[in-house]
Structure 1
Amino acid sequence: MRTRFLIAGLALMTTVSFAQKREIRKAEKAIKSNQYNEALDYLKEAEPTLGSADNSMKAQFYAARGEAIFGVGKNDHAKLLAATEAFQTAISLDPAIEGQLSAQLQNLRASLINGAVKDQNAQNYKQAIEKLYASYVTSKDPSDLYFAAGNAVNGRDYKTALEYYQMLLDMDYTGEEEEYVATDKVSGELKSFDNKNLRDLAVRAGEYIKPETQKTESKKGEILRNMTLIYIEEGNTDKATALMKAARAESPDDVYLMRADADMSYKMGDVTRYNEIMKKIVASDPTNPELYFNLGVGSGEIGDKEKAIEYYEKTLELKPDHEGALINIAVVKLSGEDKLVEEMNSLGNSAADNRKYDELKKQRQAIYAETVPYLERAHKLNPNNKEVIRTLMNIYGQLADDDKYQEMKAKLD
């Protein structure tokens, strides 16, 4: 009796196994016909007995589930994350299946990144973080983790930002990439190409000259700077100092780390150390306009407006047609306008208030008069920059320069 019972049990398990295979195959067939909801129904029937299946069959089940969920909701946040989880479960059960899922994983990553970009633009940082982290899990590309950490900073989710940045440091991520560039024969501008073949084709066509291969800027300094600034924001100056000390000891001449150290010193109120480091940075490459431009950006980020303008002016001294420096000087100068407008709007109608209003109005117009030359030079360099055109139009309107206002308005329209 016992022997017959065991044989009967074995037969039952075989029947269940065949049933699982049948439902999974039905699901796979439905997926090929883009019948994703139907595929999910078949998988739902197979799921109750999945516990008795071997890892290979379980992997097939989760791979099919990932495909079906992705097919149903390519633009749905929850479904994209669920598809990611299903694919990763399949791979963990049977690593060999990852090769079979190559195309599906690429498509999933593309949807995750495109969705994250939309979320980021809408300032929906939580969803952007989740999509980018899912993309990192899918692709193992650390740049996805880097952008997820950046969104965590923007969303003030400092715990997640620190966790992801630490992961990047542990894997020695720098973000440096080879960049294929050449100079436009007509305009003299340096252009970057997606790959070497495209660059070489453009050069052979005679449109570009001076082909070069450059390395993009390391992101390690930015990562450390953000981590130290987060620690300072949280009041943990000991961690911030220890982190920077270790990093500088490892790479004492790294300009990006020096910038991060300077920013940290400024945030901690050590202006003397800040100035000492900034002098060393400038001395490292005194004729490089991009170095001064980056120092201007860093100074602006920590609120040192005078120093930012000083560095931008030095950039223009070395490279008079630096569009970014022209625009950023205008941005820094205009940043004081909001405070004036707020004060003007708070005034009453007394004689003293009216005098104060006129005084503030003159200060505002003085800011505009200082700013216009930089924006006009930027506009001349790039006549298609809509934000520059819009800003000039608004300033001309405030300065009652109707002819130039109408000119900019026409260009914007």
Structure 2
Amino acid sequence: MKKSLLIICMMLGMATAFAQNKAVNKAEQLLKQNKLSEAKEQIDAAVNDEKTKDKAKTWYTRGQIYAAIATSEDASVKAISENAIAEAAQSFRKAQELEPNPTSPFNALSDQALNGLWGVYINNGAKAYEAQNYEVAVVEFDKALQVIPTDTTASLYAGVAAQQLGDRDRSAKYFYNLLDAGYADKDIFYTLIAYERDQKQDYAKAREVIKRGKEAFPDEVEFRKQEVALLLKEDKTSEAVNELKQAISAEPKNPDLHFNLGYLNEELGDQAAAIAAYKKALEVDPTHKNSAFNLAVIHYNRAADLVKEANNLGLSKEEAKKGAEMRKRATEYFKEAVPYVENALRLHPDNRTLMEITMVTYDRAGEKAKADALSKQLDSME
């Protein structure tokens, strides 16, 4: 008797489970028959039913149905759901939440389905981009982002495609997605800085992007240069100088801060202060490349500009005399420049511009042998 009761109970349990899964199973069958409207009705009912709403299979099946709607080429099918992509992605993720173990069946299947759906739109976007149909490319890459919102590939390609359209607002949206996802690329930062500064004229936002760029690339001097340039653009010269001086007081052994002060003074036209700051940076760090480079350029330009000025003088006796005096002074400047260009070249041995500057400096300073040696080295590089 007890055995009979046990069998009856087991059968009742199986019947109940079957009844619970009936809508899900029916939705699966309708999906196989490509009857997506009916399948959607069945599965939407199942995810709202107390008996089936917490089943991973229910949500995985819903994801499949909505994915089929989203990827259908039939406009009448697409009209069944305006948000089919988002609904499919949300359903697959819900299935994974209900089966959190990555090796469990519906977690693994949902992961495959998400990547497969993402791949469809990435491929569509790539084909459109290759065909120079950039508007379609943006739309398709955006669909991929609806599947995996943190995907950096889709954000990058969508942003670049939007750039091709000249749509800087849309490209900025996708590039900000990249930053928020932890994607660190200097060009993306530079693009967003220019966007906020030049197009939006939102200098506070531009400084915010610069700050993020400095955090991502602490050794990248260009961000500091852009920060100084932005402050100058806002006519906040004293603020820029004060901020740098305060920072130097707090970190006197930071060569980058001294370099920034030098660069700012250059922008302000105070060459003597710039030279002093660059020299201080090199005192702190003798291998500070950017300070060495700028010092070399300042000293070279001082001499070269004087020669150019002399060459532009007229042919009168008085002007000829003045020109000769200027060239003589320029020669002294070139001699003074020698140790600076040599030091910069030592730190930038493969920099062709520096090699050419150094060669001219040697020649003008009367060190012909060194100039000839550098000339031969440059010829061999060609």
In which range does the TM-score fall when normalised by the shorter chain? 0.5 to 0.7
1:55 aligns with 2:83: yes
- 2:377 equivalent in structure 1: 411
Aligned to 1:73, the other structure's residue is in SS state helix
Task: Say whether the 8 Å CA contact 1:70–1:108 is kept in structure 2.
Answer: no
**CA separation of 1:51 and 1:75: change in aligned 2, threshold 3 A:** closer
- 1:198 equivalent in structure 2: none
State the alpha-carbon separation in 2 of the partners of residues 394 and 47 from structure 1: 70
- Amino acid of the residue matched to residue 368 of structure 1? F
- Amino acid of the residue matched to residue 141 of structure 2? F
Task: Say whether the 8 Å CA contact 1:150–1:161 is kept in structure 2.
Answer: no
Aligned to 1:157, the other structure's residue is in SS state helix
State the alpha-carbon separation in 1 of the partners of residues 360 and 161 from structure 2: 34
Among 231, 234, 256, which residue is 1:231 paired with? Answer: 234
State the alpha-carbon separation in 2 of the partners of residues 335 and 397 from structure 1: 15
**CA separation of 1:319 and 1:223: change in aligned 2, threshold 3 A:** closer
- Amino acid of the residue matched to residue 140 of structure 1? D
1:317 aligns with 2:283: yes
State the alpha-carbon separation in 1 of the partners of residues 330 and 345 from structure 2: 22
State the alpha-carbon separation in 1 of the partners of residues 306 and 223 from structure 2: 39
- Amino acid of the residue matched to residue 124 of structure 2? A
Deviation at 1:373, TM superposition (A): 0.8
- 2:174 equivalent in structure 1: 134
1:83 aligns with 2:137: yes
- 2:110 equivalent in structure 1: none
Among 345, 348, 354, which residue is 1:379 paired with? Answer: 345
Task: Say whether the 8 Å CA contact 1:225–1:264 is kept in structure 2.
Answer: no
Deviation at 1:309, TM superposition (A): 0.6
Task: Say whether the 8 Å CA contact 2:313–2:319 is kept in structure 1.
Answer: yes
Q: Where in structure 2 are the equivalents of 1:296-375 lying within 5 Å?
A: 296-336=262-302, 339-375=305-341
- 1:205 equivalent in structure 2: none
- 1:206 equivalent in structure 2: none
Task: Say whether the 8 Å CA contact 2:85–2:143 is kept in structure 1.
Answer: no
- 1:388 equivalent in structure 2: 354
- 1:70 equivalent in structure 2: 126
Aligned residues: 288
**CA separation of 1:318 and 1:295: change in aligned 2, threshold 3 A:** same
Aligned to 1:347, the other structure's residue is in SS state coil
Structure 2 unaligned blocks of 5 or more: 1-33, 39-63, 89-116
State the alpha-carbon separation in 2 of the partners of residues 113 and 382 from structure 1: 35
State the alpha-carbon separation in 2 of the partners of residues 128 and 313 from structure 1: 41
**CA separation of 1:138 and 1:290: change in aligned 2, threshold 3 A:** closer
State the alpha-carbon separation in 1 of the partners of residues 80 and 270 from structure 2: 65
Task: Say whether the 8 Å CA contact 1:176–1:219 is kept in structure 2.
Answer: no
**CA separation of 1:48 and 1:224: change in aligned 2, threshold 3 A:** farther
Q: Where in structure 2 are the equivalents of 1:97-108 lying within 5 Å?
A: 97-98=147-148, 105-108=151-154
CA offsets per residue over residues 85-134 of structure 1, 9 Å max, x none? Answer: 4333565xxx5x217xx7xx443456679999xx9xxxx9x799975653
Deviation at 1:403, TM superposition (A): 1.8
- 2:193 equivalent in structure 1: 150
Task: Say whether the 8 Å CA contact 2:253–2:284 is kept in structure 1.
Answer: yes
State the alpha-carbon separation in 1 of the partners of residues 306 and 349 from structure 2: 30
State the alpha-carbon separation in 2 of the partners of residues 385 and 218 from structure 1: 17
- The Cα RMSD (Å) is 5.0
**CA separation of 1:281 and 1:68: change in aligned 2, threshold 3 A:** closer
State the alpha-carbon separation in 2 of the partners of residues 47 and 134 from structure 1: 28
Deviation at 1:404, TM superposition (A): 1.4
- Amino acid of the residue matched to residue 147 of structure 1? Y
State the alpha-carbon separation in 2 of the partners of residues 222 and 382 from structure 1: 20
State the alpha-carbon separation in 2 of the partners of residues 222 and 380 from structure 1: 23
1:165 aligns with 2:206: yes
Task: Say whether the 8 Å CA contact 1:316–1:322 is kept in structure 2.
Answer: yes
Larger Rg: 2
Task: Say whether the 8 Å CA contact 1:393–1:404 is kept in structure 2.
Answer: yes
**CA separation of 1:382 and 1:283: change in aligned 2, threshold 3 A:** same
Task: Say whether the 8 Å CA contact 2:258–2:277 is kept in structure 1.
Answer: yes
State the alpha-carbon separation in 2 of the partners of residues 307 and 52 from structure 1: 70
State the alpha-carbon separation in 2 of the partners of residues 59 and 321 from structure 1: 57
- Amino acid of the residue matched to residue 279 of structure 2? E
State the alpha-carbon separation in 2 of the partners of residues 158 and 174 from structure 1: 19
State the alpha-carbon separation in 2 of the partners of residues 297 and 75 from structure 1: 45
Q: Which structure shows the bigger proportion of residues in strand conformation?
A: 1
Task: Say whether the 8 Å CA contact 1:129–1:149 is kept in structure 2.
Answer: no
- Amino acid of the residue matched to residue 137 of structure 2? A
Aligned to 1:384, the other structure's residue is in SS state coil
* Percent identity over paired residues: 22
- Amino acid of the residue matched to residue 273 of structure 2? K
Aligned to 2:234, the other structure's residue is in SS state helix
Aligned to 2:283, the other structure's residue is in SS state helix
Q: Which moved more, 1:340-349 or 1:55-64?
A: 55-64
Aligned to 1:383, the other structure's residue is in SS state coil
